Structure formats: structure tokens, C-alpha cells
Amino acid sequence: MSSVLSQADVDRLRRYATRRPAQSREAAEAERRALEEGVGKLARRRLREHMLSLMLEPAELDECWRLLRAHASPPASPLDERIDYAGFCRVADAMPARLGRHFFGAEHFLRFPNDPWGRVSIVHYFCWLRSKTAILRTRIEFSIYDHSTDGTLGEREREPRRVTAVRKFFFFLDPRRRGRMVAGVASHESGGCAGDLGQEELRQNWFSLEYAEMLYSDYLELDADQNGMLSVGELMRFRGGAPPGGGLTAPFVQRECHTYRTKSDDGDTRASSTASRVAQSELDYKSYLDFVLAHSYKGTPEALTYFFKLLDLRRRLLGLDLAYFFRAVLEKFDELGVDPDHDHHP
């Protein structure tokens, strides 16, 4: 071999031969991790489906309360209604079968103190039932963010939902963007509690888990390079847009990223390194939420202030500035083959 290969070639082959098993082990380890992750996701999904099947909807809770009171056992007491085991079984038979084993068994009845007539307090039982439902809901919500599948949530895993909920308050109650909320400033109803809403309402409620998960998923989908920030090109794909032929106009998005670019914790725009200089023209998740809120509530004073600052190129809004942005809108119409003078698009 030495007559054909130089010593350098022999050494290179030896290094390659010793490196191959390590590469194979790395590939096997990567495959094992991918398999574990896939199994973990499947297990979490099935666990969530199981817990969802055990949750009582608001209508089912109302029906359960009605049935418990309807089957209250004598002697009657308006201030302390009670039910015996026979009445409890009748309630169990009337409720959906999926709930019987987990909420209406003998062991559940025996959880509560019996009076001399063998009855338990209806109020105490119903409060326990509501608490169990609330705990199930919380476990389902937390399990969505439990990426490590170890049954715990770290600070990083809790961050997206917390930031999503709080950001709406800051958008409407901190008009000067000072990082402090001022009570009584907002003119828009910030939203209500998501605890007693139905599934369809939850999907439209900013403070619900479903809506927060949707917003964060949209953000991650836009973040093509997965650096945790949205660049001009990535933000132009907002809500299905993909230039050419769709999405926001380039001047608008460029101005958006310049005006509301990510800032450091002390309020100064990042500018200390090459990566930080790139971040000057990118949005983090908090800035993205402000962007979504402004688009969702365009008619509010807070959103109008948001867009005015974006359009204000010279500390006062001139016709020349508006022409700069609307020229790009007309170009977008040309890309789409739309005549704005004849075609109407709501």
C-alpha cells in the first residue's frame, strides 16, 4: 500500500477509519433521541386526549348540579341539601357514562362525611367535582408546554403563555411604552376571564390557552431560521402572505422592524455585537404580539398611535410619506393583477 499511497494518505485513512464508528454512534444517538421525542409527543397527546375526555363541560356541570338537587334525600334542609347513596347512583346513571368511573363511584361518595341518614353534602361534593375539573384543565394546559415530558415546567416553558396574556394589558394600558401599566387609560375592553367560556369562545379569547398556543405556533412558523426573532422577510409572510403575490408590502414591514425592533432589558436597542446589530431590524415575540394586537384592533386609539408612529418618517406625517407607502400598495395590486379602481376587495 505504501508504494501506491503516501504516508499522509495512510494517516488520513486511519483517521477516517477511527472516526467512522464515532459518526455511526452519533447517528444512532440522534436517531434514538428522535424516536424518544416522537414517542414522548405521542404519549403526551394521548394523555391529553384522555384527560380531555374526563373534563366536564360547563353545561355538564350545570346538569350535574340540577340532578344532585333533584335527587336530594329527606329530611330536607334548604341550607344544607344532602343526598344518599341511592340518589347518588341515580345521578351517576343520568350523567355521561365516561364520567361514572372517575367521579361517581362508591369511593367518591365515601370521600365525604356521612350524616346519621347516610347522606353527604351536595355542596361539598359539587365543589370537589368543580375542583377536579379545574385541576384537569390546568394539567392539560401545562402538558402542552412540557417539552421534556418529565411532568414539570421550567421558566422557559412557561414564558410564551404568560407573555401572551400580559402583553395585551401592556398594549392598551401602557400607551407610552414605559413598561408600566396605568389603570384607566385603555379605551378598549381588554378581555374577560377564560375560565367559564365554551370551546368556540376560547379559540377567540386572547387569554385562553388555545389562543396563546395558536399565536406562539404562528410565531414559530414565521421564524424560518429559528433564531427566535422575525426578520423583514419572515414577517412579510404574516398570516399566509408570501411575496410575490401576497403578504405585507416591503416598505411597511421594513419600517415596522425599524420602529419596533427588539430592545434590551434596559430599554436601549441592541447594538453591541454583529448579532445584536442584526437584531436591530428584527422583532422578538413581545414585539410580534404588539404587531398582532395593532392589526386586530385597528380602530382603537392605541392601534392608531402604533401605526402613526410607524408611518411618521419625519416627526410629522406628510403627504410625501403616505405616497411612499401607498406606492408599494399599488405595486402589490399590480403583482396580484388587481385594478383598485374597478375591483372591490373587502
> Does pLDDT of 171 surpass 50?
yes
> What is the reported pLDDT for 279?
44
Predicted local distance difference test score (pLDDT) of residue 90:
94
% pLDDT > 90, the chain: 16
What is the tens place of the pLDDT at every residue in 201-231? 556 778 777 788 888 888 888 888 878 888 8
Task: Give the pLDDT confidence score for residue 201 in this predicted structure.
Answer: 57
Mean pLDDT, rounded, of the chain: 75
Cα 80–134–122 angle (5° rounding)?
15
Whole-number pLDDT of residue 7: 66
Q: What confidence tier does 112 reach under pLDDT thresholds 50, 70, 90?
A: very high
Domain spanning 156-336 has what CATH number?
Answer: 1.10.238
The ranges assigned to domains in the chain are 7-44, 58-143, 156-336
Tens digit of each residue's pLDDT (9 = 90 or more) over 76-105: 887 889 999 999 999 999 998 888 888 999
pLDDT number for residue 189: 41
Query: Tell me: the pLDDT tens digits for 175-190?
Result: 666 666 544 443 344 4
pLDDT of the residue at 266? 44
What percentage of the chain has pLDDT greater than the value 70? Answer: 68
**pLDDT reading at 245 higher than 50:** no
Amino acid 221: pLDDT = 85
Q: What is the pLDDT of residue 120?
A: 93
The pLDDT of residue 267 is above 60: no
